[in-house]
Structure 1
C-alpha cells in the first residue's frame, strides 16, 4: 500500500480562517442551545401537573398526598430549577470558550460530608443517576451519528483536541445531568422524579432533531469538516423506536407511580443495565480480593447448576443450617459469602450432583455474594446480642432465595422483604433481653423467623404477611420506648431547672452578703433557709415574678438588722419587727413554724445583741444547728442502667481538648439524631439525641429502650469526638445502610472510581 503523504499536510491558511471564526461560531451554538434546551425543561414543568394528576388513579390512597405535594413543590421551585438548568450550560460553554471541556460530572461539583467523612451514594441518588443515564442513552440511540459529527466539529470550533458524549456541551451527558441538577432543587419523592425523567426524555427527543441538524449544517457551511458527509440527524428507525419509547415511557411512569410489592416480573432495560454494572463490580471485587469464583467459567469442564437446583439446595438449608454456615454467621473473621457458596456446591451432592463438577451461574453467584456481604455488614455493624445475631443470621438463606426470585429487592425500598428485615433488625439491635418487654420482643422475632423458614417456598407474599403482623407488635414497642424517652427528658428537665434555681439563689445571696461580716448563726439561716426559700419560689413562680422579688426582700430585711446592729441597740430595735416578719416567711416556706420558728428567730436576734455587747459570736446557735430545711424535691432518677456511659473526661472544662467547629456542629445537631458513643473503656453503644437543655445546652441521649444513657455538654462531646469516642451514625434503615456499605466496598476494592449506575 502506498501513501503520498497528502493526508498529513495541514492547510494553515484554512486553519487560520477557521480560528478567526471560532468565537462567533461558538457564541452562535451557545445561543441556539440556550434557546432550545430550556424549552424542553419548560415543557416538562408545563405538563407535570396533568401527568401527575392522571397518575393518582394508579397509586394507593396513602401516596396521593406525596403527588399533590410534588405538584405544589414543582410550581414553587420552577424558577430556581430553570435557573440551575440554564446555568449548567452557561458554565459549560464558558469553560469551553476558555479552552477546557468539562465532563458532565465536573459541573457544579460539590462534596457532601457529615462528621468529617464522605457519605456513600444513597439509594435515591442511585435511582436518579439511573434516570439521567436513561435520558443520555435515549439521546445517543436516536442521535448518535449526528452527535459524533458534532463532537468533531465543535472540537475544532473550540480549538479543542477532542470532544465526546460526556464533554460535548450539547451532548447527551450534559443534557441529562442538567436536568438532574434542575430536579435537585425540588424536594420531591424519588418516585415522582423518575416520572419526570420519563417526561423529559420524551420532550428532548422531540426538540433535539432540529437543534442538532441545524448546528451541523451551519458548521459545514462555515467550512468545519465539510469532507465528512452529513448523516441523517435522526437514526432511520428512530420514529418507530420513538413511538415505542413513548409507550414505554408511559408504562414506566405508571409503574413508578404504583407501589412495588416485590413480586416477580421482568426487569426493565435500565434495571438490567444496573445489574450488569453490579456484576462487573462483583467480578472485579472477587478478582482483587483473590476470592475464587464458583460460577461456570465457560470451559465446559463444570456444569452450571440451574437456578431451580440452587433454590432446592437453599430449601434444604432453610430449616437445617449447615454447621459451616452457622459458624460463619457467628464468626466475624469468616467470609459469609464465600462460605455460602461453598456450602451450596457441597449441598448439590444431596441432589445427586457431583460437587466437584458443579458451578453456579454468574447471576446466581452475584445474588449469593450480594446477600452474603449485606448480612456481613448487618451482623458486624449492628449491636446484636449473641442470640439475636444467630436469629438474624438465619435469614440469610431465605434472603438469597428472594434475591434469586426477585432482584428488585435491591432496588425498591418498599419491597416487603426489605421492610421485614428492617423491622426485625430494629427489634434486635441493642436488645439484651434484660426486661420483660425486651424478652417478649425477642420471642416475637424468633416466632417470625421460625415461620419464615418453615413457610417460605418461592412465594414472596409471606414476607408481606409477616411484615404486617410484626409491624403491629413493634409499634407497641416503639410507643413504650417513646414514653420512656419522654420521662427521661422530663426528669432531666426537672433536674436542670432545680440546679439552675439553686445556682441563681446562691448567687443572689452571695451578692448581698459580700459587703457584710455575717455572724455564724445568721449565715447558717441565710445559706439554708433563705436559699431554700428563693429556690422554691423560683421553681413555682419564676425568677421574674413579684413573689420572687418578695422572697429576695425577706433576706434583705434580715441584713438590714445586721447593719443596724453595728450602730448599737437603739438602731437595732426598730429593725427587729421587720426582721421577725421576714424570717417567719422564710422559715415557713421550709415548714419551720410555731415554736421552732420562734426559736430560730430568737437565736438570730440574740446573736445581734451579743454583737452589740461585744461578746463572742463565733459559733452557730445550737437550736439553729439542730434544724434543717427539707430538700427541694427533685424528679426521681430513672432506674440505673448498666449501659450508662462513663465519659472519663476531666471535670474541669478548661482541661478539655476539642475543636471549636465541632462544638458548633454539635450545638445544631437535630433532636432524633443517632450517634455512637464509646465509654472510657472503649465499649460502644448507639444512642439517640432526645433533648437539649435550654438552660445549660447539655445534650440528653437515650438508648434503644428510651432510657437515659448520657448527658454531656457540647464541649465534652467535642472532646470525645477528638478522641474518636463519639460519632454520628448513618440514619439509614438497616438494609439501606448495609447495601451502601457493600457498594462502597465494591467501589473501593473493585472498579475504583466507576459509577454504580451505567
Structure 2
C-alpha cells in the first residue's frame, strides 16, 4: 500500500478576499463560508476521531502481525497529520466559493495518458479508479437525497455568479464539490489507499449524513441576506385520469372522519406492495416483512435505546383499539359519577364551545409566582372561574373537554410519581402544561398515538429527571437542549401542532449527538473489555497446554509452580502477539516439552545451557529482570531438586509473590460460582446469553425499592464477564452473567422491555389502570412492571 502523493502542478487556491466579485456578493459568500466552516469543522473532527477508532479495531482484529503493524503505522500517521486536514479542507472550500461559476465537474474519471495522436497509451491507476468511483457514488447519492434544497441553492448561486442556475456538479458546498475538496485535502494525511477508502466511507456517515441540513442552513443564510428571500419550489402536479380520480375519491370519502392511524392501517397492502415484480413475488416477501415488523413492534423485546431517543418500533397498530378503549373507560367513569350526584334537579348547564375554551385559556403560565406551580386541575378551575364570570354560574365544559382535562391531569400526576421532585426538568414540565392542554383539546391523538411529537417531547423532558437515573447519568448538554425546546414551544405555539414537531425534531437531533458521544465512550470500554477477554482466553489456553504436556508426570512442586506462573505468562504473551498458528507459538510449545522432559527426568544430569538461554530470553520479554529470569531459567532447564538449595528457592518464591503477574487483575476479580444454579437461575442465565448488546437492566439499590438503570454494553460467553455503562457511556460495573442471573431470579434486577422503557408509556399505562379500577375492571398486565 503506497501513500497518496500530492499532485504536481496544482494551482494555488484563491481566497475570498482576493476574489474579483462585487462587495455585496463577497459579503454573502463570507456569510456562507462562516456557516459552512463552523458546521463542517465539527463534523470533520468527529470523522477523524471515528477513523482512529476504526483503525484501532482493525489492528486489534488483524489475523497476522504484518497486517496489524500496517494498521498501527497508518494510525500513527493519521494522528501525526490529522491537524492538517481541516485547514486544508477549509482552504479548498473557500477557493470553491472564490472561483464561483468557474469550476468544472469536481469528480472526474482519471484521464488516460494521451500523446502523439493516440500512439502512446497507458493503463489507468487502479487506486485512482477506486477513489473516483467511491466519491462519485457518495456525491450522487446525497445529491438525490437533497435535490430540492440543492436546486434552490443552485438558483441563488447562479444569481451571485451572474449566470444561469448552477447544476449540482458545479455547486459550491454541494456533494460533488465537498467530495472533490476532501480528495485534495486528504493528501496531507499521507494515508495508503485502503485507509483513504475507509476515510471516504467514514466521511459519508459522519459528514454527508447531515449535508441536507447544511444546505438548508446556507439557503436560510442567503435568504436572510436578501438573496431571493421569497424563492420557493412549487412542483407541477399532473392531473390524474377521470376514472382513476373518481375511484380514488370513492375510496377515500368514507375514511375522512376516521383517526389518522386507522386510515393508515386500513390499506396495508397498498403501502407495502413492491414497485416491481409479480404478485407471487410480493406474496412470498409479505410473510418475511410481517415477521420483521412484528419483531420490531414486540412489546417484550429488550430495550436498547439511549435516553430520549425515539424507538422506531412504535406500537402504531394498536391506536384504534386504544382510542376505542379510552372512550369506553371515560363513558363508564361519567356514568358512575352521575350515580353519585345529588338527586335534586338542577338547571341544565351551559356547555361551553371549544373555541370559547381555547380563547379563554392563557398561552403560557407565568414565569414566577404561585401560578407558575399550577397543576392541570388548577388551570381548569381558573379557566372555569373566569368563564363563569362572563357566562354565569351554569357555564361548564363539554364532556369531551372535561375528559381531556381529567386525562391530562391524571397523566401528569403519574409522571410526577416517576421523577425526582427536585429534578432540573420539573419546572420545564410545568411550562408545558398550558400548550399541552391546548393541543389535547384539539388533537385527541396525543393520548392514543405513541409517536405523537408532543408526547415524545414530554417523554424526553420527563425522562431526564426519572427516578432510575443517578445524578451523574444525564449529560450536561441535555438540559440546555430541553430548555431550548420547551422555550420554543411556549413562545411559538399558537394552536399549531407543527411547533411541537419542529421542537421535537431539533431536540432529537441534539440528543442523537449526545448519544453518539456516549456510544464513543462506551466503545472504548468495550474494546478494553474485549482485550481483557483475549488475555483471559490466552491465559486459559496456556494453562491447559502446560497441563496437557505435563500429563501424569510429577515434576518438583516448585518447578510446577514456576511453570504455572512465570512460564504460563510467556505462553500467554506469545498467543496474544502471534496467535496459535504461528511458528513462534510452535517454538514455545517445543520449549515447554523440553522443560517438562528435563524437570521430570530421574537422576542427575548436566543442565541444558541452550534451553536455559531460550527460557531466559522469553522471560525477559514478559518483563522479568535479568537476575530473576536467569534464576527461573536454571530451575526450569535442569532437574535440580527443590531441597538442594532452600534459601535461593525461598528468595525466588518471595520475589515471584511480590511481582504483578500478567492478567492478575482479571484473575483477582473473577468470582467463582459458589453454589449450583437453580432451575429458575439457569433459565435466566441462558436468557442473558441471548440478549442483544446494549440491553438496559434495572437494579434495585435499596430496601425502599429505588432502582437504577444500567446498560449491558458487552458480555462474553467464554469468560462469563459482563460490562455495564450508564447513560453517558461511562463504565459503572463489571460482573459475571452468573451473578446477574441470580439477581434476576431473586427480583433484584430485571430486563427493561420496550413496553415499559419510556416513562410516558409507564405513566399512561398507570393512568389507564386507574380508570379501569375506577370503573370496576381489573388492571391490565401491560401497565404493571414487567
Which TM bucket (shorter chain)? 0.5 to 0.7
1:434 paired to 2:472: yes
Distance 2:613 2:380 in 1: 90
Map 1:237-256 onto structure 2 (within 5 A): none
Could you report, residue by residue, the CA deviation over 1:37-82 in whole angstroms, capped at 9, with x for unpaired residues?
xxxxxxxxxx99xx99xxxxx99xxx99975669889855737989
1:501 paired to 2:693: no
Contact 1:345 1:358 in 2 (8 A): no
- Determine the structure 1 residue equivalent to 2:598: 561
Offset of 1:477 from its aligned partner?
0.5
- Determine the structure 2 residue equivalent to 1:727: 750
Which residue, 327, 340, 344 being the options, matches 1:279?
Answer: 327
Offset of 1:487 from its aligned partner?
1.9
Q: Residue 438 of structure 1 aligns to a residue in which SS?
A: coil
Offset of 1:368 from its aligned partner?
1.4
Note closer, same or farther for the CA distance 1:384–1:420 as it changes in structure 2 (3 Å cut).
same
Which residue, 358, 382, 385 being the options, matches 1:311?
Answer: 358
Distance 2:777 2:316 in 1: 21
Note closer, same or farther for the CA distance 1:554–1:497 as it changes in structure 2 (3 Å cut).
same
Which residue, 638, 645, 649 being the options, matches 1:620?
Answer: 649
- Determine the structure 2 residue equivalent to 1:689: 712
Distance 2:689 2:490 in 1: 47
Which residue, 367, 373, 387 being the options, matches 1:326?
Answer: 373
Quote the RMSD (CA, aligned, Å): 4.9
Q: Residue 687 of structure 1 aligns to a residue in which SS?
A: strand
Offset of 1:481 from its aligned partner?
1.4
Distance 1:523 1:584 in 2: 17
Offset of 1:533 from its aligned partner?
0.7
- Determine the structure 1 residue equivalent to 2:404: 367
- Determine the structure 2 residue equivalent to 1:671: 693
Could you report, residue by residue, the CA deviation over 1:151-203 in whole angstroms, capped at 9, with x for unpaired residues?
xxxxxxxxxxxxxxxxxxxxxxxxxxxxxxxxxxxxxxxxxxxxxxxxxxxxx
Could you report, residue by residue, the CA deviation over 1:620-663 in whole angstroms, capped at 9, with x for unpaired residues?
25357446766447999xxxxxxxxx99x996142667344333
- Determine the structure 1 residue equivalent to 2:771: 746
Offset of 1:494 from its aligned partner?
1.9
Could you report, residue by residue, the CA deviation over 1:348-407 in whole angstroms, capped at 9, with x for unpaired residues?
435635996553221111111222233334343467862223433432332111101222
Distance 1:391 1:588 in 2: 63
Distance 1:304 1:708 in 2: 58
Offset of 1:731 from its aligned partner?
1.6
Q: TM-score, normalised by structure 2?
A: 0.52
Offset of 1:300 from its aligned partner?
2.7
Distance 2:665 2:278 in 1: 46
- Determine the structure 2 residue equivalent to 1:643: none
Contact 1:730 1:737 in 2 (8 A): no
Which residue, 675, 680, 684 being the options, matches 1:662?
Answer: 684
Note closer, same or farther for the CA distance 1:650–1:610 as it changes in structure 2 (3 Å cut).
closer
Contact 1:409 1:418 in 2 (8 A): yes
Offset of 1:578 from its aligned partner?
4.6
Note closer, same or farther for the CA distance 1:535–1:289 as it changes in structure 2 (3 Å cut).
farther
Could you report, residue by residue, the CA deviation over 1:225-266 in whole angstroms, capped at 9, with x for unpaired residues?
xxxxxxxxxxxxxxxxxxxxxxxxxxxxxxxxxxxxxxxxxx
- Point out where structure 2 has 5 or more consecutive residues left out of the alignment: 1-246, 253-262, 288-297, 303-312, 781-786
Could you report, residue by residue, the CA deviation over 1:561-584 in whole angstroms, capped at 9, with x for unpaired residues?
2223x222xxx22x5135314412
Map 1:121-132 onto structure 2 (within 5 A): 123-127=315-319
Contact 1:285 1:751 in 2 (8 A): no
Q: TM-score, normalised by structure 1?
A: 0.54
- Determine the structure 1 residue equivalent to 2:488: 451
| Paired positions, count | 490
Q: Residue 688 of structure 1 aligns to a residue in which SS?
A: strand
Offset of 1:686 from its aligned partner?
2.1
Note closer, same or farther for the CA distance 1:521–1:696 as it changes in structure 2 (3 Å cut).
closer
- Determine the structure 1 residue equivalent to 2:576: 539
- Determine the structure 2 residue equivalent to 1:395: 432
- Determine the structure 2 residue equivalent to 1:340: 376
Q: Residue 318 of structure 1 aligns to a residue in which SS?
A: coil
- Determine the structure 1 residue equivalent to 2:623: 591
Contact 1:484 1:707 in 2 (8 A): yes
Map 1:85-484 onto structure 2 (within 5 A): 114=300, 123-127=315-319, 274=323, 278-285=326-333, 299-300=346-347, 302-312=349-359, 314-315=361-362, 318-319=365-366, 323=370, 326=373, 340-350=376-386, 352=389, 357-381=394-418, 386-425=423-462, 427=464, 429=466, 434=472, 438-484=475-521
